[in-house]
Amino acid sequence: MADITDITDITDIIEQENESNEMILSMGPQHPSTHGVLRVVLKLDGEIVTDLDCDIGYLHRGVEKICEHRNYQMIAPYFDRTDYIAAVSNGLCYVETIEKALNLEIPLRAQYLRVILVELNRLSSHLLWLATHALDIGAVTVFLWAFREREEILKIFENFFGARLTCHAFRIGGMTYDAYDGFQAQVKSFCDRFPKCLEDYETLLNTNRIWLSRTVGIGIISSDDAINIGLTGPPLRGSGVEWDIRKAHPYECYSDLEFDIPYGENGDTYDRYLVRMEEMRQSRRIILQALEKLPDGEVMAPKAPKTVKPPIGEYYHSIESPKGELGIYLVSDGSAQPARLRIRPPSFVNLQALRQMAIGHLVADVVAIIGTLDIVLGEIDR
Amino acid sequence: MYIYLLSAPIWFSKLPILKDYLDPMVLDYLVWPLVQIGLLLFVVLTLIAYLTLAERKISAWIQVRIGPNRVGPQGLLQPLADGIKLLIKEDLIPLKADKGIFIVAPIIAMVAALVSLAVIPWGAAWATISNIDVGLLFILAVSSFGVLGIILGGWASNSKYALLGALRSAAQMVSYEVPMGLALIGALMFTKTLALQDMVINQENLHIWNVLFQPLGFLIYLISGIAETNRAPFDLPEAESELVAGYHTEYSGFRFSLFFIAEYASMLIISAIAVTVFLGGWYLPGLSYILIPGSTLFVLASIGVFAFKTLVLLYVFFWLRWSLPRYRYDQLMELAWKWMIPASLANILLTATILVIAKEFGLIESQGNFLSISTAGYIFLIGTAFIITVPLTWIILGQINARSRDFNLREVEPLPMNRAKKNS
Amino acid sequence: MIFFLQEQIPLPNPPISSAPPVQVNAILTDINPIVNYLPILLLLIIAISFPVVALNISSFLRRTVFDQAKLSAYECGNDPVGDARERYSVRYYIIAMLFLIFDVETVFLFPWAIIYDQLAIFGLIEIFIFIGILIVGYYYAWRKGALEWV
C-alpha cells in the first residue's frame, strides 16, 4: 500500500514515463465512468496500477468567489449547482448556516418538512450512486431499475419546488411554500413500495458471485487511515467508524427521530455498498416517522428579516449530506454580502483516498473505487 | 468407406434450364452452392441485423423500458435505419494509425466469422452447404482466425485504450479456446466423427441429444463460448466502463459495423455448434414420424428446428448479458485456467473411463461409424454423467482451488449493527 | 478420370438414418474429396467481397470533413501522452505460450476421441498417460505462478 504522505504530481508521473517504461494512461475527462469530468492519470504495469494522480478543475465555476458578490438570498441557488445530485441537502446546509448566524428559530412544521425532503434527497442521491456504481461494474440492469425509483422522488420534487434537479428548496427562515395537497400521500405511497425495490436490487447484487468478487476486498481503507485522510459519510462508516452528524450534532428535528447509523467493518467496497443500502432503509424510516409527527402551523419564521445582514463574525455549520460532511465556513463583515464563504465539499475530501485505495489494484478496480467513493465533480471543482 | 459428396435436391437439378445446359458436376458443386450461399448470407446478415434489435428489445423488457419503437411499426425497421446510418457515417482513420492494417483488420474479423457458416448443418440433407470431414476442426481453426482481426485492429489504431482492449481480447480468446476445444472431445467419443452433419445423424441414430451424456461438457462449452465471443459477463475487451470501447475505440462508420457483424456472427456460430454437437442439431425426436424423411417439407422443418434451438441459445446470451456484472480481468483468466481447463480434462478422463466400463459390461458396442447402446447402457451413461462426473469434477475443482483468492471469498456477513439486532 | 452416368446410384454402406441415403447424380471413381471445399472457397470470395463492396459504396455516400483533432488518437479528450506502442506486460506472452501447448494437446485428442470406442482399454491407459504428462506441466506452470495475474 502506498504511503499517503508520498504525494506525486501528474507531471512527475508523466516525466517518469521514459525511465520506467510503464504505460501512462489518461482516464478522463471524457470517459464513461469517471462520473463527470474527473481526470485520473494512471501508471500501469500490464493492467496493475502502480501510481495514479487525480486532475481536477474541469468543472470549476468559481462558486465561492461568486458568492462574495451576491446578497445572501441570491447565493442560495448556487448551492443547488455544486452537488447537483443532492441539491436539497446543499440548500439546507446554506440556509442553516445563515440561520445560525442570524440566530433564527425555524417553525417546527418547516423543520419536519425539511427533514422529509432532505431524506428523500438522500434516497435519490444513493439511488443514483447505486445505479452508476453497478453500471461501472457492468450490471446495467440495476442502473435502470434504480432510475425508475429515482424518477418517483424527482416527481415529488417537481411538484414541490417546480424543478427536478436544481431545486431551490428552502428560504432563509423556513420554506417559501407549504406542502402541496397530496404531498404526504405521495411520499407515503413511495415509502411503502420502496423496500420491495431495495430487495430487487439486492437480489441482483448481494449474493452474486461476480459482484462479490468485484467488491469484496477491493479498495480497503482502515478506520485510522479514513480518519487521518478526513473521510466522512459512507466511506468513513464503511471502515467501521460510527460517525454521523445527524447524531453527533443534531440539526433540525433529527434529535426527535429514531434511526440507526449503519457502519461496516472491513472498509472495502462491499461494506460501503452495504452501508449505503442500509442508509436508504434508515432514511425511509426517518421519512415515515417525520410524516407521522408532521405538525400544523407556519412554515416561515415570522421574524425572518427582509435584508439578511449577519452580525460580524465567523460561522461554521455542517450537515450530513448524502456524500458526507458538507460544511460551510462563513466570514461576515456585517454587510449584505459575505466577506468570504468557503465550502467543505465531502466528495473533494473523499476523493483523496482514491490513490491509497487504488494502488496495487487493476484498472477495472479503479473504476469500481471511483464509483464507491460516490463523487460529484460539481462539488469537487465548485 | 463413406464418401462425402455434395448434391443438389432433385427438384433443383430437374429445373429445365439447369438440366439442359449444365453439366451435373457444375450444377452440384457450383450452381447449387451459390444459390445456398446467396440465401445463407441474406438470411444470416438479416438475422444479425434483427438480433441487434432483439437484443435492444429484450434488454428493454428486462430493464422495464420500451425499447426502440419509432422507426417502422414496433421499431421493426430500426436495423435498416441503423445500417443506413452506419453506411453514410464519416469514416475516420487516425493519423498515427497503421493505415493498411487498420483497413484490413475488420475485414479479417468479419470474413473469419462468415466463412465458418459454410460447414454448419443448417438442416437435413441438402440444407448443408458443404459437409467436409473435418468440419469441427475447420470451424475451430477459422474462428480462431477472428482474434487476428481484433489484435490487428487494436494494434493498428495506435491508441492506448484500443491496444489494451486488443491485448485483453487476445489473451482471453486464446485462453478460452482451450477449454472450448477440450469440452467438445467428450461429445466426440459418442459421435465418432468430425463432420458436423454426421454428428447430427449419429445423434439421430442413438435417438438422444449428446447433452444428456455430456452435461458438464455442454456447460463448459457454453461458458467458454460466451467468453470466446467477448460477451458479458466476459466482455472485457470492450468493457465500456474501463476501456471506453476496447479494440474498436478508433473505428467508426462501416468499419465499426464490420466488427459488430463479426461479433454477432460468431455468437451465431458458437450457438450453432453447441446445437449441433450437444443439442442434436436439426434432430427432434418424433419429427420423422410426422413428416416423410427426406421430403422437402422435412428438410424445411429440420431447418426450423435448428433455427429454434439456436435462437434459444442466443436468448441465453442476451439474458446473461443484461443480468450479470462484469468479471475483472484476472478473475476471467483464473476462471479459464484454474476452473475450465481442469474441469474439461476431468470430464475427458471420467467420460473415457465410464465408456470403457460400459463397453466391458457389453452395454455399448461399436459398429463402424457409430455406437449402438442398449437400454441399460443409456441409463448407465446418463446416470453416471450426472451422478459421478459432475459432482466429482466439482469436488476436484474445489480442492485444487481451495486457496484461490477471488472465488473463495470470506463469508459475507450483515453489517455489525444488524448483527447485534439479530442476536438480541 | 471421372465418368458421369445417367442413373442415380446410392453410395455403398450409407449410415443408418431416417434421412434418405445421400444420392449423387454420378458415380465418381476417383474423385478427390477436396472438391468439397469448393463451396467454402466460393463463400470465402463472397465474404471478402461483401465488406470491400460495402466500404466502397459507403465511400460514395459519406461526408468527410477531417481536422487534426478529429484524427488524433482517443485518450479521453487529452493529447495522447507518448506512444501507444510501448513495452507491455510479459504475462500476455506467457498466456500465449501456455495456449500453444494446450491447443496442440487438444488437436492430438480429437483423432483419439473419434476412434476411442475401438481402442477401449488401450486408449484409456494411453490417455491417462497423455493427460498425466500434460497435468505435470500444468501443475508446474501453476506452481511457478504463470497462471497468476496480479
Flag whether A2 is in a domain: no
Q: Are B187 and B351 in contact (CB under 8 A)?
A: no
| Interface touch B185/C14, C-beta < 8 Å | no
Flag whether C3 is in a domain: no
Residue A276 has pLDDT above 70, yes or no: yes
State the nearest Cα–Cα gap between A311 and chain B, in angstroms.
43
User: Please, what is the average pLDDT of chain A?
Assistant: 85
Residue B274: its pLDDT value, please? 92
Lowest mean pLDDT of A223-227, A308-312, C3-7, name the range.
C3-7
Give me the total of CB pairs closer than 8 Å, taking one residue from chain A and one from chain C: 35
Structural domain boundaries in chain B: 1-78, 89-332
Residue C27: its pLDDT value, please? 45
| Interface touch C86/A14, C-beta < 8 Å | no
Q: What is the pLDDT of residues B352-399, one digit of tens each?
A: 888 888 888 888 887 777 778 888 888 888 888 888 888 888 888 877
State the nearest Cα–Cα gap between C78 and chain A, in angstroms.
8
| Interface touch B158/C15, C-beta < 8 Å | no
Flag whether A11 is in a domain: no
Map A257-313 to HEC letters. Answer: CCCCCCCCCCCCHHHHHHHHHHHHHHHHHHHHHHHHHCCCCCCECCCCCCCCCCCCE
Which residues in chain C have their CB less than 8 angstroms from residue B171's CB? Answer: 91-92, 95-96
Flag whether C29 is in a domain: no
Q: Which domain holds residue A98?
A: 63-381
Per the structure, the count of domains in chain A is 1
Percentage of the residues of chain A whose pLDDT score is greater than 70: 94
Flag whether C65 is in a domain: no
Flag whether A184 is in a domain: yes
Q: Which domain holds residue C103?
A: 91-143
User: Please, what is the average pLDDT of chain C?
Assistant: 73
Query: Chain A residue closest to B167 (CA)?
Result: A46
Flag whether A45 is in a domain: no
User: Please, what is the average pLDDT of chain B?
Assistant: 82
3-state SS assignment for residue C24 = strand
Query: Chain B residue closest to A135 (CA)?
Result: B241
Chain A contact present for C70, CB below 8 A: no
Residue A135 has pLDDT above 80, yes or no: yes
Residue A379: its pLDDT value, please? 87
* Cβ contacts of A205 within 8 Å, gap of 6 or more: A134, A139, A142, A211, A273, B325
Q: Which of C40, C66, C127 sits opposite B115 (nearest CB)?
A: C40
Q: What is the pLDDT of residues A77-86, one digit of tens each?
A: 888 888 888 8
Which residues in chain B have their CB less than 8 angstroms from residue C2's CB? Answer: 25
Q: C84 pLDDT band (50/70/90 cuts)?
A: low
Percentage of the residues of chain C whose pLDDT score is greater than 70: 67
Residues facing A99 on adjacent strands? none
Residue A154 has pLDDT above 60, yes or no: yes
Q: Are B246 and B237 in contact (CB under 8 A)?
A: yes
Angle at A128 between CA A124 and CA A132, to 5 degrees: 170
Flag whether C108 is in a domain: yes
Chain B contact present for C70, CB below 8 A: yes
Flag whether C105 is in a domain: yes
Which residues in chain B have their CB less than 8 angstroms from residue A363's CB? Answer: 164, 242-243, 329
Q: Which of B406, B412, B415 sits opposite A278 (nearest CB)?
A: B415
Residue B167: its pLDDT value, please? 83
Query: Chain B residue closest to A371 (CA)?
Result: B241
Q: Which of A32, A209, A362 sits opposite B329 (nearest CB)?
A: A362
Mean pLDDT across C67-93: 71
Q: What is the pLDDT of residues C55-66, one digit of tens each?
A: 888 888 877 777
| Interface touch C58/B91, C-beta < 8 Å | yes
Q: C19 pLDDT band (50/70/90 cuts)?
A: very low
Q: Most confidently modeled of A192-201, B190-199, C114-123?
A: A192-201
Angle at A168 between CA A301 and CA A128, to 5 degrees: 125
Chain C contact present for B244, CB below 8 A: yes
Interface test with C, best of B4, B15, B25, B353 (most C CBs within 10 A): B25
ipTM associated with this complex: 0.78
Lowest mean pLDDT of A272-281, B6-15, B136-145, B401-410, name the range.
B401-410
| Interface touch B371/C117, C-beta < 8 Å | yes
Mean pLDDT across B114-119: 86
Rounded Cα distance between A325 and A343, Å, is 11
Query: Chain C residue closest to A32 (CA)?
Result: C76
| Interface touch A145/B326, C-beta < 8 Å | no
Q: Which of B244, B406, B418 sits opposite A32 (nearest CB)?
A: B244
Residue C4: its pLDDT value, please? 40
Flag whether C133 is in a domain: yes
Subunits next to C (3 or more Cβ pairs <8 Å) are A, B
Residue keyed to cell 466469422: B113
| Interface touch C40/B163, C-beta < 8 Å | no
Residue B218: its pLDDT value, please? 92
| Interface touch A362/C150, C-beta < 8 Å | yes
Q: C1 pLDDT band (50/70/90 cuts)?
A: very low
Map chain A to HEC letters. Answer: CCCCCCCCCHHHHHHHHHHHCCEEEEECCCCCCCCCCCEEEEEEECCEEEEEEEECCCCCCCHHHHHCCCCHHHHHHHHCCCCHHHHHHHHHHHHHHHHHHHCCCCCHHHHHHHHHHHHHHHHHHHHHHHHHHHHHHCCHHHHHHHHHHHHHHHHHHHHHHCCCCCCCCCECCECCCCCCCCHHHHHHHHHHHHHHHHHHHHHHHCCCHHHHHHHCCCCCCCHHHHHHHCCCCHHHHHCCCCCCHHHHCCCCCHHHCCCCCCCCCCCCHHHHHHHHHHHHHHHHHHHHHHHHHCCCCCCECCCCCCCCCCCCEEEEEEEEECCEEEEEEEEECCCCCCCEEEEECHHHHHHCHHHHHHCCCEHHHHHHHHHHHCCCHHHHHC
Residue B19: its pLDDT value, please? 65
Flag whether A51 is in a domain: no
Q: What is the pLDDT of residues A156-183, one digit of tens each?
A: 999 988 888 888 878 888 888 888 888 8
Residue A251: its pLDDT value, please? 86
CATH number (domain holding residue A211)? 1.10.645.10
Chain A contact present for C75, CB below 8 A: yes
Flag whether C139 is in a domain: yes
Which residues in chain B have their CB less than 8 angstroms from residue A25's CB? Answer: 160-161, 164
For residue B58, the tally of other CB atoms under 10 A from its CB is 18
